[in-house]
Amino acid sequence: MKKIDGRLVADHLQEELKTKVEALQAVGKNPTLAVVLVGEDPASKVYVGGKERTAKKLGMGSLRYDLPATSTQEEILEMVEKLNQDPEVHGILVQLPLPKGLDEKEVLEAIDKEKDVDCFHPYNLGKLFQGDESGFLPCTPHGVIKLLEYYDIEIEGKDVVIVGRSNIVGKPMFSLMLNRSATVTVVHSRTKDLAEKTKKADILVAAVGIAGFITKDMVKPGAVIVDVGINSIDGKLYGDVDKEVEEVASYMTPVPGGVGPMTITMLMDNTIKACK
Residues that bind ligand NAP (CB under 6 A): 140, 163-166, 168-170, 188-190, 194, 207-210, 228-231, 259-260, 263
Nearest of 144, 190, 183 to residue 164 by alpha carbon: 190
Shortest Cβ 230–ligand NAP spacing (Å): 4
The CB density around residue 106, as the number of other CB atoms within 10 Å, is 12
Region at 4 (left for phi over 0; alpha for psi -120 to 50; beta for the rest): beta
Looking at the Cβ atoms of 1 and 43, the one nearer to ligand NAP is 43
Identified catalytic residue from 20, 51, 127, 197: 51
Shortest Cβ 162–ligand NAP spacing (Å): 9
Looking at the Cβ atoms of 59 and 257, the one nearer to ligand NAP is 257
In sequence order, the 6+-apart residues with CB closer than 8 A to the CB of 181 are: 155, 156, 157
Residue 97, helix vs strand vs coil: coil
Strand partners, 184: 160
**Pairing state of beta strands 224-227 and 183-187?**
unpaired
Query: Is 193 an active-site residue?
Result: no
Contact 186, 207 (CB under 8 A): no
Looking at the Cβ atoms of 140 and 270, the one nearer to ligand NAP is 140
Query: Is 95 an active-site residue?
Result: yes
Looking at the Cβ atoms of 61 and 261, the one nearer to ligand NAP is 261
Spatial separation of the C-alpha atoms in residues 218 and 195, rounded to whole Å: 5
Identified catalytic residue from 20, 95, 158, 171: 95
Shortest Cβ 263–ligand NAP spacing (Å): 3
Identified catalytic residue from 5, 116, 118, 202: 118
Shortest Cβ 44–ligand NAP spacing (Å): 12
Catalytic residue numbers read 51, 95, 118
